[in-house]
Amino acid sequence: MRNIEIKARIRDINVLISKAKNLSKEEGKILKQHDTFFYVPKGRLKLRKFEEGNAELIYYERPDTEGPKLSLFEKAEIDSKSVDSLYSVLDRAVGTQIRHLFLVGQTRIHIDSVEGLGDFMELEVGLNEDQSPTDGERIARDLMKKLGVSKEDLLSGAYTDLLNKKV
């Protein structure tokens, strides 16, 4: 699976949520999740546990650059019976993340509050088989403009990288 992704620090979470509601024409959905990252020789691996008790193990590769970038990923669903034992072994990396989710066409807008870091925004433009990364970048840049996200706000890396820099 692949998508085009950007990550940016946001200045005012309420303004961005309001703009995302207007673009998506919906109230959005709040997802409470806890991401635990693991050190791996290449790419990134995280266990994402949801409030409902289920989880996903997600492996992804993407460059650590600012702006729109291609992300390749694989997901494995983990049922609620298995997740607690797996999670208890791995719960050492990152704090709770509150995520607002909005859908605009083929793009997921995530507005995150990350414990110990602050507020952020991610765009994930899901690419169809007939779309190029350039098509996805164009969609991402258009949404950045509509959401008021500037080039200076863009981040590279993952939240865990930012947390590790603080230590």
Domain ranges of the chain: 2-166
Distances (CA, A) of 154 to 8, 76, 110: 4, 29, 14
Q: Mean of the per-residue pLDDT values for the chain?
A: 86
pTM: 0.67
Evaluate the CA torsion angle 79, 80, 85, 87 in order and state its sign.
positive
pLDDT in tens, 23-69: 999 999 988 887 777 767 788 888 888 888 889 999 999 888 888 88
pLDDT at 14: 93
Q: Name the E strands within the chain.
A: 2-9, 29-38, 44-50, 55-61, 69-78, 96-104, 107-114, 118-126
Class of domain 2-166: mainly beta
